[in-house]
Amino acid sequence: MSDIEDIEVRGGQGQVLDPETYRDSIGTMEQSGKRKWVFPRKPKGKYTNYRNIVSYLLLIIYFTLPFIKINGNPLLMFNVIDREFFIFGQPFYPQDFFILTLGAIASLIFIIVFTIAFGRIFCGWICPQTIFMESIFRKIEYLIEGDRNKQMKLDRQEWNSEKIWKRSLKWSIYVIISLIITHFMFMYIVGYEEVFKIVGEGPFAHPTNFIVMILLTAAFYFVFAWFREQVCTLVCPYGRLQGVLIDKDTINVFYDFKRGENRAKWRKGEDRKAAGKGDCIDCHQCVVVCPTGIDIRDGQQLECINCTACIDACDEVMEKVGLPKGLIRYASENEIEKETQFKFTGRMKGFSIFLFLLVGFLGYLLYSRGEMEAKFIKPAGSTFFVRDGKITNTYNYTFLNKTNEKKIVTIKVIDPAHGEITYSASSKIQVDRDKISKGTINISFPENDMKLSKQNITIGVYDMKGKLIDSYQTYFEGPFKLQF
């Protein structure tokens, strides 16, 4: 780029734009309320390269996690239908829902702390919407339709053969990718074996699953082919939450207005400082590269997703005109206004301490979750019976093995300790890993030992080494006795 006229009016493909068309192509909304389609220029630069690496790593993780197993269990699966949940290969059940709830709360607090300190970096670097949009769908669009100017030209032209085949090709690929994303999402719910089975047996064998997949595919296609940045600017609640959480010490993508103003066009050989001009040459390259169509120079905005595309675009221009980089950079508002360094504020410290305590408590709950959960419930409508001087109650037991190995257990009455147990089958009960075992037992006490018509007892479940795995408190019924 030899002179500033090129910087002012040329896009990524070097085609000259009409000035009025150039201005109308930025932003997401007309004054009348009609949507303005955003055609961002293809970004390039240091931060873009870093973001590409992060995006590709996250995409690899997304498409490989469903196939990874630990001790025969999926690494990550949330089967809401069958109420089976696996996190890092460990099974979780509805009984453990409070642990998952605490984990969700801890994640929310982490997002809050992270947002207070670093703004919407999550949106620009990690958010699935951004990853899929910028690293898959947008790249396909650049490959088929070209960069910003070619896309604008294609959008304005009539539906001729070129436009029909380019749009048809792009939309067809979008549908295929949406189908792939949907199938992998299903793998996180029912497992990859079940998904392959459903696909192999065909839609007529599983009409409900087929309809759900089609609807989700249509939703993905709608989001990435048409709705796009409006997910971030209109729908996503995180952008609104950001407005409450950030303050002047939050790190965000900021335009250094103290250095950049007053804006003025570039004149070669001019002493801009002596002329009272700032470093911003008003080239609008930070605007045309923005995927949400905002002007970062207007200050912090909810629509900014901290994607750093404007940083790379501005640094490129600064390098070409011989001015220092960093006119747009990661900084806090106080750093720009007061020229102070980033500091860890009291609010950040308070949230961080609370997060640390919550994570510690969550870790304790996971560690002490227990190997097995046992329940002993009296059958509905059942009562006691007396035989040979003993009072007997019947209980249905349910054992849930939460470990990744088979367990063989036995049952004992802990309190009172002299209870006698009669099994409906073997006294050594086998419970397979990640399975539920059910059965029936009778518990008897000498009639003279029962002083109350209903009294509490504690039943323990032990492994073959005599270790107490779990205990359950229930009640034992006997005949009513008058107390004098």
Model confidence pLDDT, tens digit, residues 366-395: 776 777 889 999 998 888 989 888 999 999
CA-based angle 289:293:297, to the nearest 5?
80
pLDDT-derived band of residue 133, with 50, 70 and 90 as boundaries? very high
pLDDT at 11 exceeding the cut of 90: no
Residue 289 pLDDT:
95
pLDDT at 113 exceeding the cut of 90: no
Structure tokens, 197: 């089975």
Residue 27 pLDDT:
53
Burial class (CB in 10 A: 0-12, 13-18, 19+), 151: buried
Q: Poorest-confidence range of 84-88, 166-170, 429-433?
A: 84-88
pLDDT tens readout for residues 280-337: 999 999 999 999 989 999 888 888 889 999 999 999 999 999 999 999 999 988 888 8
Provide the percentage of residues in the chain whose pLDDT is more than 70: 92
CA-based angle 212:216:222, to the nearest 5?
145
Mean pLDDT, range 86-104, rounded to an integer = 79
Name which residue leads in pLDDT, 326 or 242. 326
Residue 108 pLDDT:
80
Which is nearest to 225 in space by CA: 145, 141, 161, 150?
A: 141
pLDDT tens readout for residues 17-54: 343 333 343 356 666 677 888 999 999 999 999 999 99
pLDDT tens readout for residues 45-85: 999 999 999 999 999 999 999 999 987 889 899 888 877 78
Whether the CB-CB separation of 135 and 308 falls below 8 Å is answered with no
Residue 432 pLDDT:
87
**Across 274-288, 337-351, 446-460, which has the greatest mean pLDDT?**
274-288
Whether the CB-CB separation of 368 and 470 falls below 8 Å is answered with no
What is the distance between the alpha carbons of residues 448 and 388, in angstroms, rounded to a whole number? 12
Q: Poorest-confidence range of 31-35, 144-148, 190-194?
A: 31-35
Which is nearest to 469 in space by CA: 390, 389, 407?
A: 407
Furthest C-alpha separation in the chain: 113
Structure tokens, 56: 């590709």
Residue 443's contacts (CB-CB under 8 Å, 6 or more residues apart) are 392, 393, 395, 413, 419, 420, 421, 422, 457, 459, 476
Residue 246 pLDDT:
83
Name which residue leads in pLDDT, 28 or 263. 263
Mean pLDDT, range 413-427, rounded to an integer = 87
Mean pLDDT, range 159-185, rounded to an integer = 96
Bridging pattern class, strands 328-331 and 90-92:
unpaired
Expressed in angstroms, the distance from the first to the final Cα of the chain is 106
What is the distance between the alpha carbons of residues 40 and 232, in angstroms, rounded to a whole number? 15
Residue 483 pLDDT:
55
Residue 322's contacts (CB-CB under 8 Å, 6 or more residues apart) are none
Mean pLDDT, range 205-225, rounded to an integer = 93
Which stretch of DSSP H or E encloses residue 190? helix 161-190
* DSSP string computed for 61-123: HHHHGGG-EETTEESEEEETTTTEEEETTEEE-GGGHHHHHHHHHHHHHHHHHHHHHHTTHHH
Beta-carbon count within 10 A of 472 CB: 19
Mean pLDDT, range 155-175, rounded to an integer = 95
pLDDT-derived band of residue 12, with 50, 70 and 90 as boundaries? very low
Residue 153 pLDDT:
94
What is the distance between the alpha carbons of residues 204 and 186, in angstroms, rounded to a whole number? 18
